[in-house]
């Protein structure tokens, strides 16, 4: 088997949606399996079906004893090929709102008096899986379409490590799944220029404004040098991706400009993808 992916996450974070999306990009997906049965099931599927890509959904409904043995089960699965762990997460307030909107019952609802208590307990129970995740995805600000775009970018790469450059706005929250976060709110803000305010970092007027500032250029040079130096080291550790998030206040001008400029500078050295998280907020 070329690729085996364990998909887990907190209830309400989008695990089921992620499995459907993975099916769309070529994975054979199975949900809600007890962890202790995975080695046997994977061995049978590998022997009889010769699958290239298999995604297995695991959540808090699996026995607690299985979760405590996740490390051992993971090692057994490695006999069948490369194993990755995708863990989906979201902020507690977002999860509470999603359960309120859908009126779904939390899997641990019978054991705890409040939904908040169930969420806290679930996070602790899933910690052995979350701690071994090769990809953690924060879905707090993602709808289903954005989740599909993000998963397609992050799971569709080949053997070479991919650099994911993401712009975001601090007023909408820091991405929980970024490996590195750079704050560029100290740089000149085009928002305060009336002619530039409705535009974005994709527009030439904004690019010219920011590109003429020495501090903007200095920030670009520092991030570029950092990534150029350390990307080969990260790649040697057999990582499949590196997510670098750059944030300004609203995620419309400065962060977008720097993400695109860095992508242009680095894409000849590394497979590079760009994500502009706040695009849906642009007027």
Residue 260 belongs to domain spanning: 162-281
**Cross-strand pairs, 49:** none
Mark whether 241 and 212 lie in a shared domain: yes
Model confidence over 59-69: pLDDT tens digits? 998 888 889 99
Q: Which residues are annotated as a binding site?
A: 9-16, 59-62
Number of domains in the chain: 2
Q: Which residues are annotated as a binding site for GTP?
A: 59-62
Mark whether 141 and 166 lie in a shared domain: no
Mark whether 9 and 132 lie in a shared domain: yes
Q: Per-residue confidence at 41, pLDDT binned at 50, 70, 90?
A: confident
Mark whether 91 and 134 lie in a shared domain: yes
Residue 156 pLDDT exceeds 60: no
Mark whether 149 and 11 lie in a shared domain: yes
Give pTM, 2 decimals: 0.60
Mark whether 234 and 174 lie in a shared domain: yes
Tokens representing 14 are: 């989008």
Model confidence over 61-107: pLDDT tens digits? 888 888 999 999 999 988 887 889 999 999 999 999 999 888 888 99
Mark whether 30 and 104 lie in a shared domain: yes
Mark whether 133 and 239 lie in a shared domain: no
Residue 90 is part of a domain; what is its CATH number? 3.40.50.300
Mark whether 232 and 150 lie in a shared domain: no
Q: How far apart are CA 271 and CA 241, in angstroms?
A: 9
CA distances from residue 273 to 12, 95, 149, 223 in whole angstroms, order as listed: 27, 28, 11, 16
Q: Which residues are annotated as a binding site for ATP?
A: 9-16
Pairing verdict, β 83-89 and 3-9? parallel
Model confidence over 209-247: pLDDT tens digits? 999 999 999 999 999 999 999 999 988 876 777 899 999
More confident residue, 157 or 41: 41
Last residue of some domain: 138, 155, 172? 155
Mark whether 95 and 174 lie in a shared domain: no
Contact indicator for 264, 273 with CB cutoff of 8 Å: no
Mark whether 118 and 212 lie in a shared domain: no
Tokens representing 169 are: 């706005």
């Amino acid at each position: 088997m070329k690729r085996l992916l364990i998909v887990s996450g907190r209830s309400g974070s989008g695990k089921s949606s992620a499995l459907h999306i993975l099916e769309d990009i070529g994975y054979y997906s199975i949900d809600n399996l007890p962890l202790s049965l995975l080695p046997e099931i994977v061995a049978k599927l590998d022997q009889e079906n010769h699958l290239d890509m298999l995604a297995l959904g695991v959540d808090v409904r699996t026995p607690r004893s299985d979760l405590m043995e996740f490390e051992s089960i993971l090692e057994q699965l490695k006999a069948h090929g490369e194993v990755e762990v995708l863990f989906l997460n979201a902020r507690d307030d977002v999860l509470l709102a999603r359960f309120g909107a859908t009126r779904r019952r939390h899997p641990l609802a019978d054991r705890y008096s409040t939904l908040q208590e169930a969420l806290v307990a679930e996070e602790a129970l899933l910690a052995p899986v979350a701690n071994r995740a090769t990809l953690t995805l924060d879905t707090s600000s993602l709808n289903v379409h954005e989740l599909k775009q993000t998963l397609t970018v992050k799971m569709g790469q080949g053997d070479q490590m991919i650099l994911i450059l993401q712009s975001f706005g601090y007023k909408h929250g820091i991405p929980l799944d970024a490996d590195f976060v750079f704050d560029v709110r100290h740089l000149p803000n085009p928002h305060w220029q009336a002619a530039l305010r409705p535009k974005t970092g994709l527009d030439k007027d904004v690019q010219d404004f920011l590109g003429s500032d020495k501090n903007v250029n200095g920030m670009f040079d520092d991030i570029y040098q950092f990534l150029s130096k350390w990307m080969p080291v990260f790649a040697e550790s057999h990582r499949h991706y590196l997510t670098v998030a750059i944030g300004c206040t609203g995620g419309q001008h400065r962060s977008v400009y720097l993400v695109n400029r860095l992508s242009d500078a680095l894409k000849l050295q590394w497979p590079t993808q760009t994500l502009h998280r706040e695009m849906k907020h642009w007027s």
